[in-house]
Chain A
Amino acid sequence: MGLGQLASRALFRSTRLASSKPQLLLRRAIVSTPDLHNSGAAAAEAQPEPDLPKRNPVAGARVHFPNPDDVIEVFVDGYPVKIPKGMTVLQACEIAGVDIPRFCYHSRLSIAGNCRMCLVEVEKSPKPVASCAMPALPGKGWSFMKMVGFGMKIKTDTPLAKKAREGVMEFLLMNHPLDCPICDQGGECDLQDQSMAFGSDRGRFTEVKRSVVDKNLGPLVKTVMTRCIQCTRCVRFATEVAGVQDLGMLGRGSGEEIGTYVEKLMTSELSGNVIDICPVGALTSKPFAFKARNWELKGTESIDVTDAVGSNIRIDSRGPEVMRIVPRLNEDINEEWISDKTRFFYDGLKRQRLNDPMIRGADGRFKTVSWRDALAVVAEVIHQVKPEEIVGVAGKLSDAESMMALKDFLNTMGSNNIWCEGNGPNPNADLRSGYIMNTSINGLEKADVFLLVEAAMVNARIRKTVRATSAKVGYVGPPADFNYDHEHLGTGPETLTELSEGRHPFYSALSNAKNPAIIVGAGIFGRNDKDAIFSVVEKIAKNINAVRPDWNGLNVLLLNAAQAAALDLGLVPQSEKSIENAKFLYLMGADDENLDKLPNDAFVVYQGHHGDRGVYRANVILPASAFSEKEGTYANTEGCAQTTVPAVPTVGDARDDWKIIRALSEVAGVRLPYDSLSAIRSRISTVAPNLLNADEREAAAFSTSSLRPEVKEKMDNSAPFGTAVENFYMTDSITRASKIMAQCSASLSKK
C-alpha cells in the first residue's frame, strides 16, 4: 500500500509546515478580512501561494472530468484543486497529493464511513468530518458574508485532525489482540503502518480485551476474527463485486462479528480477494499461513496463464520457491481482483515436475538420459517418418515464442499438422475478430444488453455493468449459476435460431439496445457444427446492429491462455484427421488432447513441465520450464499481448520451450534461424506483430459478419450446449498437480 509513503509524507509535511506556520498564520490573519468583502481580491488570491510546491495526485492518478462545466474548486491545506462535482473530500485530497489514512474506504467498493480514521477538519464545521463520505461542496453560503466562488477549505494536518486520528487509532487498538508476531499480515498490515504514522505512542487501556470465535470460510481463507476491526470491506466486496451475499455483520457494539451465520463456505471464485482487501490479519491466506514474511519475498510482475483473462499478478518468491501470488492493478483487464485458481495454484508448481529428459525403454519404463541422447533419438525418429505423418499439438500454457518455434520446425520438416489445444480440429484463424473479445474486457462495462452463449468467466465485469446500469443478460446454455440477474433463454442451438429469426421474446431487448454484446464461449470450437453456429450468431449480430465502426459487440470468450496467440500465429492444421494418421506426435505441454485415435506405433514426444496425462503415452520426455520460470508472451482473450517474467529459476535440467525446439532442429539438421529471444521475437513480428506490442490491445480490423463465406451446414439441433469447464479448479497440468486446488474442488465446487 502507499502507507509507507503516507507516513513519510505526513512527517515531512508536519516538519515543513511547522517551520513555515507562523508566517502563514500571520498572512492569513491579515488577508482574510478584506477577502470577505471583496470578491475581486478573492479571485486574485486564489493563485497558489509561492512557497507551496506543486502537488501531484496520490500515486500519479489522473482526474477524469466527465462534465467540464461541473468543476468545483476546493482548498486542501491551502492548495486549490479542481475536482469534478460529486467527489468526496477524500478524493479531493488525493488529487491534491494528500493521502488520508483510512480503513473502511476502498475505491472500488461502496462507502461505509464506519472506521472514522479519515477524519479531517473542514473549516466552519463543528466537528471533524469523515472525508470518505462527505462530498466536497463548493462553498457554504452565509448570508451576511457573500462568499461567492469560495471553495470548501479542508485541512488535514491541524492538531484537531491529528488528535482525531490518534483517538480513533487508540479505540481500534483497544480490542485488537497482540498478535503481530504470529499474524501473517505483519509487515504489510495497514493497522501497523497507520499506528506508526498517526497513532499516539502509548495506550491507556487496562481492562480485558474481547475475543471472537473464528469462522470457517473454506480451505482458502483463514479467519482469526479476534483481529477484525469491523471495517466491513469484506462484506461489501462479497455483496458487490463477487455477488454472493455470504458475509454479514452480526450483533451490535463491541459484540459485532463478521461471519456467515449459517455454516457456509465461501464458494465464490473471487473469494480469495478478501485476503487482499482486509486491512488487518483477520482474513488471511490459509495456504500461505506461517510460511513467510513479506519482507523476505521478492516480487516479480508477471501474467497469469491458468485462464484466458491474463490477469496481472505479482509472484512473490523466496529463493527458488514461489510463496504466493498477489494481484497487480490493471484497470483494463482484471482491475485489482484475481480468481481463486490464479491465486492458489502455485503449489502445483512444486509437485510432479519434470526435471530430466527421459526415454521409455523396451520394458516400458522411463530412463533418465542426457539432453544429447534425447535430442539425438528424437531427431533420428523424425527423419524416418513421412512429412504428413508428423503432428504437433501446442498446449494450453504455451507461450507465443514456443508456438512460433514449433510451427517453424514442423513446417521446415514438411508438415503443417499443428494446432493448439482447445481450438478444435478446424479453427478459423483468418479473421482476428472471429476469435477474440472484440469489445475489450474494459469495454464490456459500456454494454447494456448481453447475450451469453455458454460462457462462464469474465463474470465480475459483467456483474459490475449489471449492477451499475442494470443491463439485461440473456443466457443460452446449460443451467448455470450466475451472481447477477439473468434470463435463461434455452439450452441448445435452436434458441439461437429463434433469436436470429426474431421469434424469441428476448430479441426485442437485444434490438433495442444501444450497445449490445454477444459473448460466445470457446467450448463451441469443439463442436462439429461450429461454423453453422457462428453463422447464426453473426446473423443475430447483424440484425441487432451489434457490429458497427465504433462498437463491435460480437465476442468470443477463450478458455486457455495459449489460444489467442496460437490463432494469431496461424496454428491451423492442414487436415482434421491428422491424429489418426500420425506416426510422430509432438506434444508441447498438451495434456487434454484426445489421443484415443492415435495409432499404437506412433512415436510421441512430450515436452512439458508437469508429469500429467501427456506423459503416459509418451516415448520421450523433454522437460520444459513453467510460466513462472520463463519469459514468454501470452495473448489474452481480448487480444492484449503480455509477457511473463521469470520469477524463479528452472527446475532441474529443464530448458525453455523454444530453446528445446531450436536445439532439436539443429540436431535434426534443419536449424532454425534464431538463437536468442530477440531473434525469435523478430520472427514473430513477421507473422503477428501485434504480439510484440506488450500490454497494448490491438482491435481486429475487419469484422467477420460481413466477410465470412456462407455456411451450408446445418446446426445439430439435438445436441444442447454443454459446459466447457467441468471443474473450475482443475483445468490444466499445474492446477491438477496442486494440493490446494484438490481441496477446493473437493469442498467448494458448486455441485
Chain B
Amino acid sequence: MASTMKYVRVPPNSASLAEARQRVFEFFKTACRSIPSIMEIYTLDDVTSPSQLRSVISSEIRKNAHITNPKMDQLQRIEPDVIDMLLFKGTEELCNIVEHSKQRHHILGQYVLNREDRTHDIGNKDQGASDFLKSFYKSNY
C-alpha cells in the first residue's frame, strides 16, 4: 500500500556524510507525512496527537545522533554505511507500521506510552538522596 518508500530502490551507499544527513531528513519528513494515516489505522486519536508522534520519531532518530563523527579512516565509507543501515531499519519499521503489519498495542507500547519526559532535568540535585529517591525519580519500577 504505502510501500512507496523511495529507499527500497536506492543503492545502499551514500556518497558522503552530507548525503546521508540529507537522507535522514528526508526519512524524517516521510515519516511525519505518514503520521495522519498511522493515526487513522490504529485509532490513536484519544491516546496521542500528531505533534507527540513527531517528537517521538525525532527522539528515536536522535538516539543515534552520536554516529556522526566524520572521522576519516582507511575505508572512508564506513561511517555513512552505518547511517544507511540505520536508515534502512528505520524505513523497514515505518513500512511495517504503515502497512498495518503491527497492531495497536505494539504502537502504544513502543511509541506512545512510557516515553521519558523532556521535563526531567539532569542535575546536581541528587546529593544526599537515598537510593529509593533516585530510582523513584527515574521510574516506577
Binding site for B on A (CB under 8 A): 318-321, 350-351, 356, 368-372, 625, 649-656, 659, 662-663, 666-667, 671, 675
Q: Given A320-B108, A321-B108, A659-B136, is A653 in contact with B117 using a C-beta cutoff of 8 Å?
A: yes
Q: Return chain B residues, CB-CB under 8 Å to A649.
A: 113-114
Q: Return chain B residues, CB-CB under 8 Å to A319.
A: 104-106, 108-109
| Chain B interface size, under 10 / 10 to 19 / 20 to 34 / 35 or more | 20 to 34
Q: Return chain A residues, CB-CB under 8 Å to B113.
A: 320, 649, 651-652
Contact of A654 among B121, B123, B140 (CB under 8 A): B140
Report whether B47 and A350 are in contact in the complex, using a CB–CB cutoff of 8 Å. Answer: yes
Q: Given A319-B108, A659-B140, is A370 in contact with B117 using a C-beta cutoff of 8 Å?
A: yes
Give the shortest distance, in Å, between B135 (CB) and chain A (any CB).
Answer: 9
Contact of A666 among B104, B109, B117, B132 (CB under 8 A): B132
Report whether A625 and B120 are in contact in the complex, using a CB–CB cutoff of 8 Å. Answer: no
Report whether B105 and A663 are in contact in the complex, using a CB–CB cutoff of 8 Å. Answer: no
Q: Given A356-B119, A653-B117, is A371 in contact with B140 using a C-beta cutoff of 8 Å?
A: no
Give the shortest distance, in Å, between A555 (CB) and chain B (any CB).
Answer: 38
Instruction: Select from chain A the residue with minimum beta-carbon distance to B119.
Output: A370
A649→B125 CA distance, assembly (Å): 28
Q: Return chain A residues, CB-CB under 8 Å to B51.
A: none
Pairs A–B under 8 Å by Cβ, sample size 17: A318-B105, A319-B104, A319-B105, A319-B108, A319-B109, A321-B104, A356-B119, A368-B119, A370-B119, A370-B121, A650-B140, A655-B140, A659-B140, A663-B132, A666-B129, A666-B130, A671-B130
Contact of A356 among B105, B106, B117 (CB under 8 A): B117
Q: Return chain B residues, CB-CB under 8 Å to A659.
A: 136, 140
Report whether B114 and A652 are in contact in the complex, using a CB–CB cutoff of 8 Å. Answer: yes
Instruction: Select from chain B the residue with minimum beta-carbon distance to A651.
Output: B113
Contact of A370 among B47, B120, B130, B140 (CB under 8 A): B120
A649→B131 CA distance, assembly (Å): 22
A-B contact count (CB 8 A): 62
* New A-B pairs, 11, CB < 8 Å, besides A318-B105, A350-B47, A663-B132: A319-B109, A320-B108, A320-B113, A351-B46, A370-B137, A372-B123, A651-B113, A652-B113, A663-B133, A671-B130, A675-B132
Give the shortest distance, in Å, between A740 (CB) and chain B (any CB).
Answer: 14
Q: Return chain B residues, CB-CB under 8 Å to A368.
A: 117, 119
Q: Return chain B residues, CB-CB under 8 Å to A318.
A: 105
A40→B109 CA distance, assembly (Å): 71
Give the shortest distance, in Å, between B140 (CB) and chain A (any CB).
Answer: 5
Give the shortest distance, in Å, between B106 (CB) and chain A (any CB).
Answer: 7
Overall SS of chain B's interface? loop
Give the shortest distance, in Å, between A650 (CB) and chain B (any CB).
Answer: 5
Report whether B140 and A663 are in contact in the complex, using a CB–CB cutoff of 8 Å. Answer: no
Instruction: Select from chain A the residue with minimum beta-carbon distance to B138.
Output: A371
Report whether B119 and A369 are in contact in the complex, using a CB–CB cutoff of 8 Å. Answer: yes
A649, A656, A671, most chain B CB atoms within 10 A = A649
A651→B139 CA distance, assembly (Å): 11
Q: Given A655-B140, A662-B132, is A320 in contact with B109 using a C-beta cutoff of 8 Å?
A: yes
Contact with A along B95-121 (1 / 0, CB 8 A): 000000000111011000110010111
A651→B140 CA distance, assembly (Å): 10
Give the shortest distance, in Å, between A86 (CB) and chain B (any CB).
Answer: 50
Overall SS of chain A's interface? loop
Give the shortest distance, in Å, between B101 (CB) and chain A (any CB).
Answer: 16
Give the shortest distance, in Å, between B43 (CB) and chain A (any CB).
Answer: 11
Q: Return chain B residues, CB-CB under 8 Å to A675.
A: 130-132
Q: Return chain A residues, CB-CB under 8 Å to B123.
A: 372
A371→B125 CA distance, assembly (Å): 12
The 5 nearest A-B residue pairs measured at CB: A319-B105, A663-B136, A675-B132, A370-B119, A655-B140
Give the shortest distance, in Å, between A434 (CB) and chain B (any CB).
Answer: 37
Give the shortest distance, in Å, between B2 (CB) and chain A (any CB).
Answer: 24
Q: Return chain B residues, CB-CB under 8 Å to A650.
A: 140
Q: Return chain B residues, CB-CB under 8 Å to A655.
A: 136, 140
A319→B125 CA distance, assembly (Å): 35
A356, A369, A370, most chain B CB atoms within 10 A = A370
Give the shortest distance, in Å, between B136 (CB) and chain A (any CB).
Answer: 5
Q: Return chain A residues, CB-CB under 8 Å to B137.
A: 370-372, 663
Contact of A667 among B46, B120, B133 (CB under 8 A): B133
Q: Return chain A residues, CB-CB under 8 Å to B125.
A: 372
B104, B130, B140, most chain A CB atoms within 10 A = B140
A652→B120 CA distance, assembly (Å): 13
Q: Return chain A residues, CB-CB under 8 Å to B120.
A: 370
A321→B120 CA distance, assembly (Å): 26
Q: Return chain A residues, CB-CB under 8 Å to B108.
A: 319-321
Instruction: Select from chain B the residue with minimum beta-carbon distance to A292.
Output: B105
Contact with A along B55-90 (1 / 0, CB 8 A): 000000000000000000000000000000000000
Q: Return chain A residues, CB-CB under 8 Å to B130.
A: 666, 671, 675
Give the shortest distance, in Å, between B37 (CB) and chain A (any CB).
Answer: 21
Give the shortest distance, in Å, between B51 (CB) and chain A (any CB).
Answer: 15
Q: Return chain A residues, CB-CB under 8 Å to B106.
A: 319
A360→B47 CA distance, assembly (Å): 23
A652→B48 CA distance, assembly (Å): 12
Report whether A656 and B140 are in contact in the complex, using a CB–CB cutoff of 8 Å. Answer: yes
A369→B121 CA distance, assembly (Å): 10
Contact of A372 among B104, B109, B121 (CB under 8 A): B121
Give the shortest distance, in Å, between B40 (CB) and chain A (any CB).
Answer: 17
Give the shortest distance, in Å, between A542 (CB) and chain B (any CB).
Answer: 51
Give the shortest distance, in Å, between B132 (CB) and chain A (any CB).
Answer: 5
Q: Return chain B residues, CB-CB under 8 Å to A350.
A: 46-47
Contact of B133 among A652, A653, A666 (CB under 8 A): A666
Q: Return chain B residues, CB-CB under 8 Å to A369.
A: 119
Q: Return chain B residues, CB-CB under 8 Å to A662.
A: 132, 136
Give the shortest distance, in Å, between A188 (CB) and chain B (any CB).
Answer: 20
Give the shortest distance, in Å, between B81 (CB) and chain A (any CB).
Answer: 35
Give the shortest distance, in Å, between B126 (CB) and chain A (any CB).
Answer: 9
A371→B108 CA distance, assembly (Å): 24
Q: Return chain B residues, CB-CB under 8 Å to A656.
A: 140
A320→B105 CA distance, assembly (Å): 7
Instruction: Select from chain B the residue with minimum beta-carbon distance to A629.
Output: B140
A352→B123 CA distance, assembly (Å): 31
A320→B137 CA distance, assembly (Å): 22
A372→B119 CA distance, assembly (Å): 10
A319→B102 CA distance, assembly (Å): 13
Q: Return chain A residues, CB-CB under 8 Å to B129.
A: 666
Report whether B136 and A371 are in contact in the complex, using a CB–CB cutoff of 8 Å. Answer: yes
A350→B104 CA distance, assembly (Å): 14
Give the shortest distance, in Å, between B6 (CB) and chain A (any CB).
Answer: 32
Q: Return chain A residues, CB-CB under 8 Å to B104.
A: 319, 321
A17→B131 CA distance, assembly (Å): 63
Instruction: Select from chain B the residue with minimum beta-carbon distance to A675.
Output: B132
Give the shortest distance, in Å, between A387 (CB) and chain B (any CB).
Answer: 24
A369→B137 CA distance, assembly (Å): 12
Q: Return chain A residues, CB-CB under 8 Å to B105.
A: 318-321
A370→B119 CA distance, assembly (Å): 5
A350→B109 CA distance, assembly (Å): 14
Give the shortest distance, in Å, between B63 (CB) and chain A (any CB).
Answer: 20
Instruction: Select from chain B the residue with minimum beta-carbon distance to A367.
Output: B119
Q: Return chain B residues, CB-CB under 8 Å to A356.
A: 117, 119
